[in-house]
Amino acid sequence: MKSQALFDQMAAAVKKDGASLVKMGGAVFQFIISDGGAAGKFTLDLKNGTGAACAGEDTKADCTITIADADMVAMAEGKLDGMQAFMGGKLKIKGNMMLAQKLSAILDATKK
Protein backbone atom coordinates (compact mmCIF):
# COMPACT_ATOMS: atom_id res chain seq x y z
CA MET A 1 0.00 0.00 0.00
CA LYS A 2 1.71 3.16 -1.22
CA SER A 3 -0.22 5.45 1.11
CA GLN A 4 1.31 3.71 4.16
CA ALA A 5 4.38 5.96 3.84
CA LEU A 6 2.05 8.98 3.91
CA PHE A 7 0.33 7.72 7.07
CA ASP A 8 3.73 7.06 8.67
CA GLN A 9 4.69 10.65 7.80
CA MET A 10 1.47 11.94 9.42
CA ALA A 11 2.14 9.91 12.57
CA ALA A 12 5.69 11.30 12.81
CA ALA A 13 4.40 14.86 12.33
CA VAL A 14 1.81 14.42 15.10
CA LYS A 15 4.49 13.13 17.48
CA LYS A 16 6.73 16.07 16.63
CA ASP A 17 4.22 18.92 16.39
CA GLY A 18 0.86 17.58 17.57
CA ALA A 19 -0.32 20.67 19.46
CA SER A 20 -0.17 22.97 16.43
CA LEU A 21 -1.77 20.32 14.19
CA VAL A 22 -4.62 19.99 16.71
CA LYS A 23 -5.19 23.76 16.44
CA MET A 24 -5.25 23.41 12.67
CA GLY A 25 -7.47 20.31 12.49
CA GLY A 26 -9.82 20.34 15.47
CA ALA A 27 -11.33 16.99 14.48
CA VAL A 28 -10.84 13.24 14.27
CA PHE A 29 -10.26 12.10 10.68
CA GLN A 30 -10.74 8.49 9.61
CA PHE A 31 -9.09 7.39 6.37
CA ILE A 32 -10.29 4.25 4.65
CA ILE A 33 -8.22 3.12 1.69
CA SER A 34 -10.84 1.29 -0.36
CA ASP A 35 -8.38 -1.15 -1.91
CA GLY A 36 -6.18 -1.49 1.19
CA GLY A 37 -8.02 -4.25 3.04
CA ALA A 38 -7.65 -4.39 6.83
CA ALA A 39 -4.38 -2.43 6.66
CA GLY A 40 -6.13 0.40 4.85
CA LYS A 41 -7.69 2.05 7.90
CA PHE A 42 -5.95 4.95 9.60
CA THR A 43 -7.13 7.41 12.25
CA LEU A 44 -5.76 10.92 12.62
CA ASP A 45 -6.93 12.52 15.89
CA LEU A 46 -6.39 16.26 15.70
CA LYS A 47 -9.02 17.01 18.33
CA ASN A 48 -7.83 15.61 21.65
CA GLY A 49 -4.75 16.60 23.65
CA THR A 50 -1.67 16.86 21.45
CA GLY A 51 -3.16 14.63 18.79
CA ALA A 52 -2.64 11.02 17.83
CA ALA A 53 -2.22 8.98 14.68
CA CYS A 54 -2.68 5.24 14.49
CA ALA A 55 -3.69 2.37 12.28
CA GLY A 56 -7.25 1.17 12.69
CA GLU A 57 -10.73 2.57 12.76
CA ASP A 58 -12.40 5.15 15.02
CA THR A 59 -16.16 4.80 14.87
CA LYS A 60 -16.56 8.27 16.44
CA ALA A 61 -14.57 10.10 13.73
CA ASP A 62 -15.86 13.56 12.81
CA CYS A 63 -14.96 13.04 9.15
CA THR A 64 -14.44 9.74 7.33
CA ILE A 65 -12.64 9.79 4.00
CA THR A 66 -12.79 6.79 1.68
CA ILE A 67 -10.38 6.83 -1.25
CA ALA A 68 -8.29 4.42 -3.35
CA ASP A 69 -4.62 4.02 -2.46
CA ALA A 70 -3.24 5.60 -5.67
CA ASP A 71 -5.68 8.53 -5.40
CA MET A 72 -4.66 9.20 -1.77
CA VAL A 73 -1.01 9.35 -2.81
CA ALA A 74 -1.82 11.58 -5.81
CA MET A 75 -3.81 13.94 -3.57
CA ALA A 76 -0.98 14.15 -1.02
CA GLU A 77 1.51 14.90 -3.81
CA GLY A 78 -0.71 17.68 -5.16
CA LYS A 79 -1.39 15.82 -8.41
CA LEU A 80 -5.08 15.32 -7.61
CA ASP A 81 -7.29 18.11 -6.31
CA GLY A 82 -9.51 17.04 -3.41
CA MET A 83 -12.58 18.81 -4.77
CA GLN A 84 -12.12 17.25 -8.22
CA ALA A 85 -11.64 13.83 -6.62
CA PHE A 86 -14.86 14.30 -4.65
CA MET A 87 -16.85 15.53 -7.66
CA GLY A 88 -15.47 12.68 -9.78
CA GLY A 89 -16.47 10.04 -7.22
CA LYS A 90 -12.88 9.10 -6.35
CA LEU A 91 -13.23 10.53 -2.83
CA LYS A 92 -16.16 9.81 -0.53
CA ILE A 93 -16.79 11.76 2.66
CA LYS A 94 -19.00 10.82 5.61
CA GLY A 95 -19.62 13.18 8.48
CA ASN A 96 -18.67 16.84 8.47
CA MET A 97 -17.72 17.72 4.88
CA MET A 98 -16.38 21.13 5.88
CA LEU A 99 -13.63 19.41 7.88
CA ALA A 100 -12.42 17.64 4.74
CA GLN A 101 -11.54 21.06 3.29
CA LYS A 102 -8.88 21.42 5.99
CA LEU A 103 -7.12 18.28 4.81
CA SER A 104 -4.90 19.77 2.11
CA ALA A 105 -3.43 22.25 4.61
CA ILE A 106 -2.97 19.45 7.15
CA LEU A 107 -1.30 17.19 4.55
CA ASP A 108 1.04 20.06 3.62
CA ALA A 109 1.87 20.67 7.30
CA THR A 110 2.75 17.00 7.87
CA LYS A 111 5.29 17.06 5.02
CA LYS A 112 7.54 19.55 6.84
In tens digits, what is the pLDDT along the chain, a chain of 112 residues?
899 999 999 999 999 999 999 999 999 999 999 998 888 999 999 999 999 999 999 889 999 999 999 999 998 888 998 889 999 999 999 999 999 888 888 888 887 6
For 81-88, the CB contacts below 8 A with 24+ separation are none
Q: Outline where 1-112 has alpha helix (H).
A: 3-25, 69-76, 82-87, 97-100, 103-110
Query: Full-prediction pTM beyond 0.85?
Result: yes
pLDDT of residue 38: 80
Q: Which domain holds residue 67?
A: 3-110
* Domain of residue 15, CATH code: 3.30.1050.10
pLDDT of residue 108: 84
pLDDT of residue 112: 67
Counting the structural domains of the chain, the total is: 1
pLDDT of residue 12: 95
Query: Which residues does residue 44 pair with via DSSP β-bridges, in sequence order?
Result: 29, 53
